[in-house]
Structure 1
Amino acid sequence: MINNPTKFLFLTTLMGGTIISISANSWFGAWIGLEINLLSFIPLLINSSNLMTTEASLKYFLTQALASITLLFTVILSALIFAAPNSLLVMNPFINSLLSSSLLLKMGAAPFHFWFPGVMEGLTWINGFMLMTWQKIAPLMLLSYNLTLNTFSTLIIVLSILIGSIGGLNQSSLRKILAYSSINHLGWLIPALMLGENLWNIYFITYSFLTGTIIFMLQTFNISHLNQAFSYKSVPPIIKFSLFSTLLSLGGLPPFLGFLPKWLIIQSLAASSMIFTVTLMTTMTLITLFYYLRLAFSALMLSYAENTWNKPIMKMMPPFYLSVIFMMISTMSLPITSLIFHLM
């Protein structure tokens, strides 16, 4: 991508649009940043060697355009009714819910997730990674300005975790599994926004690292579906173990790294007397862990196949060692972090 000047230009304006949105002091400035971000991301999605990217980019454009129109309409309506065009705070509950809905549609949170798995299925792994991580930063930051813990936000949190958990049960495409996992993690990111900026930063950085590790392995070994990960002739057993242990870490299974941000959010919600909400969140996240564990058992025990003639060639590749290092970070970081904390 760096060798292509056009893509480098669009990547730069993509990041610039996000920075404009999160640093704007009015909703109009935030909307401009979101539009720059959108118009920069569309050319990056299109890949001439993959015909599915055209359909995915069209779906993404239409959905984001609908969300942008709703956002602009809500901001203008708020300015006309309350005469506060330069304020980032919207006090009316209905206007606030409508504004939050447009931002939730932009990042694909439930129940506005209808476009997200379909778009993910048609993208390359790098573009999918950008869609699941960077493209969520600006809507989440804008959402944090007006989001409070009420019936609407609780419903969004519960639906995101529920749909993200149940949606991945019957999927065989790894892109769709990661898409529903992203919807599930949005259900944890939204309460992290309300509890504090540090919690949100820790959760988002951890989620981005784990997702990036999985996508790095899937792209390196050209894996797109589960049957390829089960018995693919060019995947060494250690890479298969690395992939599924990182998936378990992404699901939040102790003692892996992915459990750390969930642990912090559960502790903060319990301290804020939100016992019912945190119980629902934890219970429904166990569904995600169920199908991750089911996949891991099937791949490592039931559907095990190993070829010996290409293992030495694979082990000489630098991505092999990088995958093992990333897996060790994702699996061993939580015990090491806890040990350092107790020693201090």
Structure 2
Amino acid sequence: MFNNSSKIVFFMILMMGTLISISANSWLGAWMGLEINLLSFIPLMSDNKLMSTEASLKYFLTQALASSVFLFATILFLLNSNKINSNFLMEMMIFSSLLLKSGSAPFHFWFPNVMEGLSWLNSLILMTWQKIAPLMLISYIIFKPLIIISIILSSLIGALGGLNQTSLRKLMAYSSINHLGWMLAAMFDSNLMWMTYFMFYTFLTFTMIFMFNMFKTSHMNQLFTLSFHSKTMKFFLFFNLLSLGGLPPFLGFLPKWLVIQSLTMNNQLFLLTFMVLMTLITLYFYMRLSYSAFMLNYHENNWMINSLYNSTFMKTFMTYSFFSSMGLFLMFSLYFML
């Protein structure tokens, strides 16, 4: 993507749109930032492949629907209607449109299908940067009845949706939906809590997608090939998946630990128990993926060039994987040393 100068310009506009949205002091300004963000991401998604064209069209239609609802609710707010429950209606419409933009359940229907048609780099942008503005705006207007429903459904759908997937992009999409449930739950405490979770989630997602992009893997059976014949690579895959799932003592457990502590202090015990149980299901399909990669090995398919193991990419990936796996140990060691 960054070999194309026009796409670099669109990427800069994409970042600017998000910054406009999160720094706006009115809902209309936030809507304008979201639209700039949307219209700059469409050219980044589109290339000569049929799948990416279909994905960009699906993304545009769903985001346009969300933007229309958001703008309509904003106009209602500006008109300052005196009708009964007008504020309730406005908050519900704005909140629903932002959930649709972020890909949270029950408005997640577009997210896995769009992910399937994107390159790994665009998938990373969609799973991380594109969620910043909607989540920031959601934190401004927490609509409690709907946010609890969204947390429960995001945890449930993110866990169950990934069980029968062979596509790694869809697997990452359902994992992202599950993590969205945790981020929404983190908003009960403070903005700092969900931002902390989001930073850890971004790092772990980046590490996984860096690996998949480096080895050009898109489906589960490609993990069993000569690209992953090295035991070191299989261990890194195993540790990164467990860290993404939030299993202690890996780095991915730390943000979940903070959210668990926050929900316990807010007496949201039922919600917490449900989310932890759903996380166990996500760990199951991560373990299944790792176990298959360890136990199965097909020598007839070679998806990558072996010289890649000695490249800078490999060293970079090992560095990311080390922090993903051992980051929690390093943080606690520094804490006790200081």
TM range (shorter): over 0.9
2:76 matched residue in structure 1: 77
Taking only aligned residues, the RMSD between alpha carbons, in angstroms, comes to: 2.0
Q: 1:57 and 2:51 equivalent? A: no
Q: Indicate which of 94, 97, 103 corresponds to 1:102.
A: 97
Gaps (5+ residues) in structure 2?
none
Percent of aligned pairs with the same residue? 53
Mark the runs of 5 or more structure 1 residues left unpaired by the alignment: 84-89
Amino acid corresponding to residue 10 of structure 2 in structure 1: F
Instruction: Choose from 165, 174, 185 the match for 2:179.
Output: 185
- 1: CA distance between counterparts of 2:242 and 2:201? 12
Counterpart of 1:286? 280
Distance 1:288 1:32, change over 3 A: same
Are the aligned partners of 1:239 and 1:323 in contact in 2 as well (CA < 8 Å)?
no
Structure 1 ranges of 4+ moved more than 6 A:
309-312
Deviating more after overlay: 109-118 vs 90-99: 90-99
DSSP-derived class of the 1:195 partner = coil
Counterparts in 2 of 1:194 and 1:122: CA distance versus 1, 3 Å:
same
- C-alpha contact (below 8 Å) 1:166/1:287 kept by paired residues: yes
Residue 297 of structure 2 is aligned with which of 289, 292, 304?
Answer: 304
Residue identity in the other structure for 1:174: L
In structure 2, distance between residues paired with 1:232 and 1:103: 43
Aligned twin of 1:43: 43
**In structure 2, distance between residues paired with 1:100 and 1:7:** 31
Kept in 1: contact 2:158–2:174 (CA 8 A): yes
Say whether the 8 Å CA contact 1:165–1:285 is kept in structure 2.
yes
Cα distance in structure 2, aligned partners of 1:319 and 1:73:
47
CA distance in 2, matches of 1:201, 1:111: 22
Check the 8 A contact 1:247/1:292 in 2, yes or no: yes
What are the superposed Cα offsets for residues 246-288 of structure 1, whole Å, 9 maximum, x if unpaired? 1111110111110000000100110111111111111111110
Equivalent residues in 2 for 1:193-342, closer than 5 Å:
193-233=187-227, 236-300=230-294, 302-305=295-298, 313-342=307-336
Distance in structure 2 (CA, Å) of the matches to 1:190 and 1:175: 22
Match in the other structure for 2:138: 143
Contact 1:74 1:98 (C-alpha < 8 Å) held by counterparts: yes
List per-residue Cα deviations over 1:149-177 (Å, max 9, x = no partner).
Answer: x3321111010010000000000000000
Indicate if the aligned counterparts of 1:257 and 1:332 stay in contact, CA closer than 8 A. Answer: yes
Distance 1:312-1:16 versus aligned 2 partners, 3 A rule: closer
**What pairs with 1:128-139 in structure 2 (closer than 5 Å)?**
128-139=123-134
Within 2, Cα distance between the matches of 1:69 and 1:194? 28
CA distance, structure 2, for counterparts of residue 47 and residue 168 of structure 1? 27
Instruction: Compute the displacement of 1:53 (Å).
Output: 0.4
Partner of 2:28: 28
> Structure 1 residues 212-221 or 232-241, which shifts more?
232-241
Q: Counterparts of 1:334 and 1:250 in 2: how far apart (Å)?
A: 13
Distance of aligned partners of 1:203 and 1:296 in 2 relative to their CA distance in 1, 3 Å threshold: same
Answer yes or no: is 1:5 the counterpart of 2:2.
no
Pair 1:3–1:319, CA change in 2 (3 A): closer
**What is the CA distance between 1:33 and its match in structure 2?**
0.5
* Superposed CA offset, 1:37-66 (max 9, x none): 000000000112x22100000000000000
